[in-house]
Each structure stands twice: as C-alpha cells, then as structure tokens.
Amino acid sequence: MTTSQQQTEATAYWTVGPGQGELRTEELPVPGPEEALVRSLYSGISKGTELVVHQAAVPPCIAEEMRAPHQEGSFPSPVKFGYLSVGVVEQGPTDWVGQTVFCLHPHQDRYVVPVSSLTRVPDAVPPRRAVLTGTVETAVNALWEAGPRLGDRVAVIGAGLVGGMVATLLRTVPLARLQLVDLDPSRKALADAVGVDFALPDDALPDCDIVFHCSASEGGLERSLKLVGDEGDIIEMSWYADRKITLPLGEDFHARRLSIRASQVGVVARARRHRRTSADRLQLAVSLLEDPVFDAFLTGASDFTGLPGVVQDLAEGRLEALCHVIEYPPAEDPGAEYPVHKTEPTETAR
C-alpha cells in the first residue's frame, strides 16, 4: 500500500460471525472542519465485553444500548466494535495536530472522528499505558457510585482487569481494610504489584461496608452477599450478557437489608451526573494513568496484523491476558501487507 493509498483507505477489525473476525479495508473520509484524522499507535482488547461480541452473545434487547461510540454494523455481526484506542492526530484543527489522544474507537489503523470525541493524553502518560483509559473510567464511575468513606472496610471480588483497576484506585483512599478476592491464587501477583491485600474467597474477611463484584460469575456474586455487612452495598460491575444468574435471596438478604446496585459506564454515576460530563470523567481517568503502577495491567502485545488470531486465542483460553495491547505500524512503515477483506461501508456506518 502506498502512502497515498494509506491516506484514503483504512484497515479495521470486524466481527463477521460467531467466533469469527477479520481485517477489512474501507474508505477513509476527508476530515471536516471540526474533525481529526488519527493514526493509531496502540489499542487494547477489553476482553470481557469484546469476547461477548466475538461469541455473538449480546442480548438483542440491549443491542442498541451496547453500541460503542464509533461502532459500525450491528450485533450480532458484521460489526466493528472496540473502545480502547490511542493515536496521534495527523490532520485537523491546528491545536490538535501532533497531539497524542485517546478515543473510544474500534481497532483501526487510521480513522476520522470529531475532535469532541478525543481526549488529550498528558505528556507524563506513555501512549501504550493510555489504552487503559476506558477501563480506568469504568472504575472511576464505580467509585462515584459507591462513595467509599473514611475508614470503610471494602472487598473487590474478581481480580481481572476491571476488579484490579477498582482495587488500584481504592488503595489511595484511607480505608480501614481493602482486599482483592479471587479464586485463582496466581492473581496474588497482580495484587502485590498494585499494593493491595489478596485473599482467596474462603479467607476473605466479612462485614464489609462495600463489596465491588467484578468476577462475572454466579459464585462471586453469592460470595459478595456473604462478605457484605448488614445494610451494606454490593456494587455489581459484572455483565452477564445472555447468561442466567441464580442468587440465594431467600436466606438473610432481606433481614440484613442488603443492596445490590448496578454500575455501568454508559452514563456518569448519579452522584456526579449534574456536575461532571463523560468528557470530564475521561480526562480524570487518563490523568490517573501518570502512575506507573498501571503497567501491571498490560500483559501482552501483538501486531495489528495478528488481531483476528489473538481474539480467537483469548476466546478459546490459549492466551491469558488482563489487557492485551495491539501495536500499529509506525508512520514511516505503514504495513501494507494486511491480510484484509475489501468491503463497502455498511448501512449503519458513520
């Protein structure tokens, strides 16, 4: 692919069927007055949600609510989905050109978006680490939902990417107790890396003021009911897609006046909704990434050309990752030899 071709065509990852993904080329539009052309540096795979999309398990009843900001196509497929992209602005308003930016955009080597969709990455945040911005945003929203207080006893169940992020942010809050809980003893390494206590489920301490549930499992949510104290709050951050979950709400759930509250990043948490915008929340999230402790969540990298195979390996358990980073070719080596499928824009394309 020549330089001129690279400027008129883009390559993106599409889910094209249950368990099937491919790279496709598409026309790259000319940026308008308030738009920017972004060349991708890195993107991150948000394993939980993206594997649900890969497996065509998005429930039809919430398909519209599940649309990512710059998604093309529709669930179950074909669909271009993803939301952890970091790049550099090559064309656009003068004050944006050359800026490193985060965007809630699918995996794509170049794209054109409104500058209002971009979040500037501070100089102190490495671009690779900045792919975590969207996940930190999810954790920030959960903390706004829960409102932890001085001296609280808190447990986070599920030491994956989201649970680990929540625990990492909570470690700076003056709590009386914080435990990161997981069935997998190897997750202690992550807890140690971010500086929080780790516990297996049977060893986790009860009588918590708040429990954040992030394991996406029935057993984890049931354990949350056991660990939370009387009149305490469970912040449910897991998304079960089309799975059915059974809970023992006939035991002491009502007698202890427990609360299970959903946290979802699609809207700003109610406690801050009137004073913070989604853009404010993203800017806060990326600023928090100045802390190098977050590098513990970057657990592998692959070239953009191998993305379809990487997603399949993650889905089938051949590859373990918290956040797997996708690396894009540098500007001087645009990487023409993508194994791509030529496609025309879909009816739902931007």
Interatomic CA distance for residues 285 and 139, integer angstroms:
9
**Quick check: 144 pLDDT over 50?**
yes
Contact 154/148 with Cβ under 8 angstroms? yes
Mean pLDDT across 127-141: 98
Which residue type does 147 have? G
pLDDT at 3 over 60: no
What are the pLDDT digits (tens) for 305-314? 999 999 999 9
pLDDT at 190 over 60: yes
**What residue ranges of the chain are covered by domains with CATH 3.40.50.720?**
137-262
Chain length of the chain: 350
pLDDT tens readout for residues 213-229: 999 999 999 999 999 99
Averaged pLDDT for residues 170-196: 98
154 has pLDDT over 80? yes
Looking at residue 8, its pLDDT comes to 86
Residue 1 pLDDT more than 90?
no
Cβ–Cβ < 8 Å for 36, 112:
yes
How many Cα atoms sit within 13 Å of 83 on the Cβ side?
23
Cα 154 from Cα 148, distance rounded (Å): 8
What's the pLDDT score for residue 342? Answer: 44
pTM here?
Answer: 0.91
Protein fold of 137-262: Rossmann fold (3.40.50)
Q: Residues with Cβ < 8 Å from 241, sequence gap 6 or more? A: 52, 57, 58, 59
**Where in the chain are all domains bearing CATH 3.90.180.10?**
3-122+290-342
139 has pLDDT over 50: yes
Domain 3-122+290-342 is in which class? Answer: alpha beta
Contacts of 102 (CB under 8 A, 6+ apart): 85, 86, 118, 119, 121, 130, 131, 133, 134, 282, 286
pLDDT tens-digit map of 70-106: 999 999 999 999 999 999 999 999 999 999 999 999 9
| pLDDT score of 339 more than 60 | no
| CA distances for 304 relative to 93, 300, 326, 340, angstroms | 28, 13, 6, 11
Assess whether pLDDT exceeds 50 at residue 302: yes
